Amino acid sequence: MSPLSFLSSRWLRVLLGAGLTVLLVVVSATSLARLIGGSVESDDEDPTVVSVEPGLDVEVTVPPGASAVEIGNLLFEAGVIESANEFELTVRDQGIANQLRAGTYQLITGMAVDEVLPRLLQGPIADAYRVTIPEGLRVTEIIDVLVDSSGLPRGDFETALTQGGVLSELRTMPAAPTLTDWEGLLFPDTYEFLRESGAARILQVLTDTMEERVASVDWTAHGESGFDIYQGMVVASLIEAEVRVADERPLVASVIFNRLREGMPLQIDASVLYGLDTRDPALFNNESESPYNLYKFPGLPPTPIGAPGRASLVAAADPAITEFFFYVLSTAEGAHAFAETFDEHLANIERSRAAGIIP
């Protein structure tokens, strides 16, 4: 082999290796964009801008010594911001690159750059504790969790909610609100709070988070059906109480709206139990005079019956299109059998009884 041939082969391998590297970079960028809900843009657009699904919890760790460019890329890759370039330019314009603090942050996707920067300037919450509010809890149960985790008196939380210490844009409160009026307005999630945070501050964070999550849902179709967003939250709370299998949320939502359109009572046991201030099925009474007794009173209950998570909010805003009017528990794992007619429903009930799923 001549020296020229060897040189040509050597450079060919180099070029092929470089080409492969470029290809891998392009593929990685494309995969990343698809992962967080966007796509790589054409050459005449900013290739670092993608669309992300807003309102999802993410954890981002900023390593010590990270530059503004590196931090922007971390936030972009996590879906927190839509443009790494915008982040870097904003930091440069404000001259705050050396003030961004390392640490692990609890953020959400779809944040504006101006929302993220104050968090990075403050740094991770120190001397803090973490508390998890499960989906479906009633407001009194949420207060129980907050009292246990914070060590603050229960009365502090009740007073904050009933005497104007906390504000929500999701509902117009009566002049003298009760705890029930706050039902469904505190978002179930995992939070970190400073030990010095008071009850009103803690509850306001939960309230603000619910507002953010509700705002992240597309309620267009829901509004066209004649229901307002607060009613959608009520439906979401019913879904949260009824569903154990995630894929069934839109189906249960369809049953609720189908029955509402036909003027049929919803007959949801969880709402009856809420009105009786119990979770014990043995105390179920569908003859009670509570407005939450959806066997006796048509339409929706007056408030949510618990704290809905985002998946239930989405299902309430975008129910499946079905002809189902009935469902009954069908498996020990919590799945339901759905039916269009009462006769089909009765058959499903008999199958569930025969299987020992229901009494």
Output the pLDDT for position 53.
78
Alpha carbons 9 and 14: distance in angstroms, whole number: 9
Tell me: pLDDT of 322 over 70.
Answer: yes
Band (pLDDT 50/70/90 cuts) for residue 97 is: very high
Output the pLDDT for position 215.
97
User: What value does the mean pLDDT take over residues 133-141?
Assistant: 98
Output the pLDDT for position 299.
96
Domains, the chain: 57-122 (3.30.1490.480), 128-215 (no CATH), 220-322 (no CATH)
Q: Enter the DSSP assignment of 83.
A: B
Cβ atoms of 222 and 317 closer than 8 Å: yes
Band (pLDDT 50/70/90 cuts) for residue 50 is: low
Output the pLDDT for position 21.
35
Tell me: pLDDT of 313 over 90.
Answer: yes
Output the pLDDT for position 48.
52
Higher pLDDT, 35 or 183: 183
pLDDT in tens, 226-250: 899 999 999 999 999 999 999 999 9
Residue at token pair 């269009």: 340
Higher pLDDT, 126 or 304: 304
Tell me: pLDDT of 161 over 90.
Answer: yes
DSSP for 198-246 reads: -HHHHHHHHHHHHHHHHHTS--HHHHHTT--HHHHHHHHHHHHHH-SSG
For all residues of the chain together, what is the average pLDDT?
87
Higher pLDDT, 346 or 104: 346
Output the pLDDT for position 37.
39
Output the pLDDT for position 194.
85
Residue at token pair 């180099």: 14
User: What value does the mean pLDDT take over residues 16-43?
Assistant: 37
Band (pLDDT 50/70/90 cuts) for residue 4 is: very low
Taken in order 331, 332, 335, 336, is the CA torsion positive or negative?
Answer: positive
Least confident interval from 43-52, 66-75, 129-138, 139-148? 43-52
Higher pLDDT, 36 or 206: 206
> Nearest Cα to 150, choosing from 219, 97, 203, 213?
203
Tell me: pLDDT of 343 over 80.
Answer: yes
By CB atoms closer than 10 A (0-12, 13-18, 19+), residue 236 is buried
